[in-house]
Structure 1
Amino acid sequence: MNWVIVGQGALGSLLAVKLQQQQQTVAVLTRANAPAEPRWLDQQCYQFSAITPAELLCSQQPSTVVAAVKAYQLDALLKQLAELPTQHQLLLSYNGMLDNEAQRLPPNCLHWVTTHGAYRDAQQLVHAGAGESWLGWQQPQLKPVPAELITTLSAALPPCHWQPEIQRQRWQKLAINCLINPFTVIHNCLNGELLGLGLEAEMLQLAGEISALAGRLDGIDLLPEQLVTAAMDVATRTAANRSSMLSDVRAGRRTEIDFLNGFVARQSAQLGLTASANQLLWQQLS
């Protein structure tokens, strides 16, 4: 298979390296004809060819395009790829959710939800926590199961599961990010260091608000206690990981708080639900 990875963020770069280790053909979509930077993992250097958006749109070679990007980058990227030929397959991976997603996302894209932890230190990659991944269509009723895609992703970053109800998995991932990422910024700590801070009660309130919103918006039943347990499990398995939000704060970049706790607060307010805990974190970190 041919793969095009959008940009060279931590997760996208990790996938690019892992795919290359599986003898897959990998290119990096760069801006303004910039070359793709090398990436180091486990003391080995990996080089990638670059492809521009114009070259991708003109390519007749079928490729899987993976956009593991910040939520606030999606609109510009989707506009750029609006004319993506049908022989290419688009995978989206981003933290949080967008307002009015059904109108903003292409119906024939796939969501890639993963709990693998990674961060970047210059050109050095750190796979800070082994997790698992799920794949599903934005509109699941329209498409068959992409078996080859799942097999390849499972070999590169195992395990990868097909999830026909991917929205449920996305809500669970959103909850985990809402329960972990803001606290790593507030306490300036790695994921695993949250475990000893006695945050369970605060997390349970956040989870309760998220569960209520998921039920109202999408009819998805989530148990707050299970969301807290899942967040603690992820924090344990990614104990050495620096959350993406903490990395953004340290680098002086915009965070994704608007699409995590901010999303929960905004959507809850529109529906007349109370989300004071998520509102407080959103205000604190905005």
Structure 2
Amino acid sequence: MTTQLNDSSMNIAILGYGAIGGLVASQCHKLGYTYQILLRTPEELTLEIQDIELQLNHIQPNTSLIDDPQPFDLLILPIKAYQILPALKSIKRNIKPYQTIVLLHNGMGCIEQVKQLLPDNPCIAATTSYGAYKPDANTIKQTGLGETHLGWINTSQSVQKAKIETILSNLLPPVFWHPDISLALWKKLTVNAVINPLTATLNIKNGELAKPNYANQIKDIITETHAVIQSLEYSISFDELSSLVKNVIDKTADNYSSMHQDIHHKRRTEIEFINGYIVNKANELGLQVPQNEKLLKQVQQLEMR
């Protein structure tokens, strides 16, 4: 029997407290939403969050164990792409069919995995250009305002779409809802496919990519990715993709990319869900993407070291 969502309140669960997860928790706290952070081990948590105006906020979020969560209606996963499936498998026995899953990560490929694992759950794909990092375990520094794009990829008649959309629209504004989120995800993937592996392999900040000596390689990556997008019959021009990449490079010039930081701190990267996803799609479509293949191998080699 499917339980209906409570009209008077909606409970939010956030998996982990990474940089973006911390920002989501901070906004929930500010707005007075009922929320919990799901953890693998018991911990009394205090987060220090520095916003874009350098104001410090301290929050003590409600926490639960991932194996024994408090009741929730929305489950937000602001984690690495490769963590999505293992995390959902570990919490699957506590997930009810009426609960909405929100995927908030870089890269592509997880949607297919989640649909297979939880075919009956309402699901939303989201991508954000907010910038944040963690100088230590319990501190989050916001480095850039962004925008967030969301779209339903699976829904049901019982889900309170309007209420959920209102809540999510308040978390990382401005928010844009799409009838088909796929093109927005491909746009973000194109940006990530350029900035992340190049900054990681070259050991540079994002802004360095604006130098002329990187122009040809950037153009080749975008050309290959654009060919894949066109073959999938999404309508966007090469110039629009190029402008989008240039704009993000300029806006985040002083930042290190997430992949650069992963390599620097000897963590696994999301390369398989970024350039690796482009390579896989290109193979399915019979297209050649040598620049993306090269970057995939280079980052994988760095990971092995």
Whether these two folds match at TM > 0.5 is yes
Letter in 2 for 1:88: Q
- Structure 1's 209 and 236: CA in aligned 2 closer, same or farther, altered over 3 A? same
Question: Helix, strand or coil for the counterpart of 2:102?
Answer: strand
Letter in 2 for 1:72: Y
Instruction: For residue 196 of structure 1, report the CA deviation from its aligned partner.
Output: 2.9
More divergent stretch after superposition (135-144 vs 72-81): 135-144
The one of 112, 115, 137 equivalent to 2:152 is 137
The one of 227, 241, 260 equivalent to 1:246 is 260
CA contact (8 A) 2:123 2:155 kept: no
State how many pairs are aligned: 282
- Structure 1's 142 and 213: CA in aligned 2 closer, same or farther, altered over 3 A? farther
Equivalents in 2 of 1:139, 1:100: separation in Å?
10
CA contact (8 A) 2:36 2:61 kept: yes
Question: Helix, strand or coil for the counterpart of 1:236?
Answer: helix
Q: Does 1:44 align with 2:57?
A: yes
Question: Helix, strand or coil for the counterpart of 2:42?
Answer: coil
Gaps of 5+ in 2: 1-9, 301-305
Q: Does 1:151 align with 2:166?
A: yes
Instruction: For residue 231 of structure 1, report the CA deviation from its aligned partner.
Output: 1.3
- Structure 1's 94 and 177: CA in aligned 2 closer, same or farther, altered over 3 A? same
The one of 45, 64, 67 equivalent to 1:54 is 67
Equivalents in 1 of 2:163, 2:56: separation in Å?
30
TM-score, normalised relative to structure 1:
0.89
Amino-acid identity (%): 30
The 5 A counterparts of 1:1-286 are 1-41=10-50, 42-56=55-69, 59=70, 61-83=71-93, 84-98=95-109, 101=112, 104=116, 106-107=118-119, 108-122=122-136, 123-139=138-154, 146-216=161-231, 218-286=232-300
- Structure 1's 211 and 99: CA in aligned 2 closer, same or farther, altered over 3 A? farther
Letter in 1 for 2:97: T
Gaps of 5+ in 1: none
- Structure 1's 264 and 19: CA in aligned 2 closer, same or farther, altered over 3 A? same
Question: Helix, strand or coil for the counterpart of 1:138?
Answer: strand
CA offsets 1:51-70 (integer angstroms, 9 cap, x no match): 122332xx4x4432110111
Instruction: For residue 37 of structure 1, report the CA deviation from its aligned partner.
Output: 4.8
More divergent stretch after superposition (178-187 vs 164-173): 178-187
Instruction: For residue 150 of structure 1, report the CA deviation from its aligned partner.
Output: 3.2
CA contact (8 A) 1:119 1:242 kept: no
Letter in 1 for 2:89: K
Instruction: For residue 154 of structure 1, report the CA deviation from its aligned partner.
Output: 3.3
Instruction: For residue 284 of structure 1, report the CA deviation from its aligned partner.
Output: 1.1
Equivalents in 1 of 2:206, 2:288: separation in Å?
27
CA offsets 1:76-122 (integer angstroms, 9 cap, x no match): 11212334113422100121112882654645211111111111111
- Structure 1's 64 and 134: CA in aligned 2 closer, same or farther, altered over 3 A? same
Letter in 1 for 2:224: E
CA contact (8 A) 1:71 1:259 kept: yes
Equivalents in 2 of 1:254, 1:165: separation in Å?
30
More divergent stretch after superposition (108-117 vs 183-192): 183-192
- Structure 1's 142 and 184: CA in aligned 2 closer, same or farther, altered over 3 A? farther
Equivalents in 2 of 1:263, 1:87: separation in Å?
30
More divergent stretch after superposition (149-158 vs 131-140): 149-158
Letter in 2 for 1:96: G
Instruction: Give the alignment's Cα RMSD to 1 decimal.
Output: 2.4
Question: Helix, strand or coil for the counterpart of 2:35?
Answer: strand
Instruction: Give the structure with higher Rg (CA).
Output: 2
Equivalents in 2 of 1:99, 1:20: separation in Å?
28
Question: Helix, strand or coil for the counterpart of 2:92?
Answer: coil
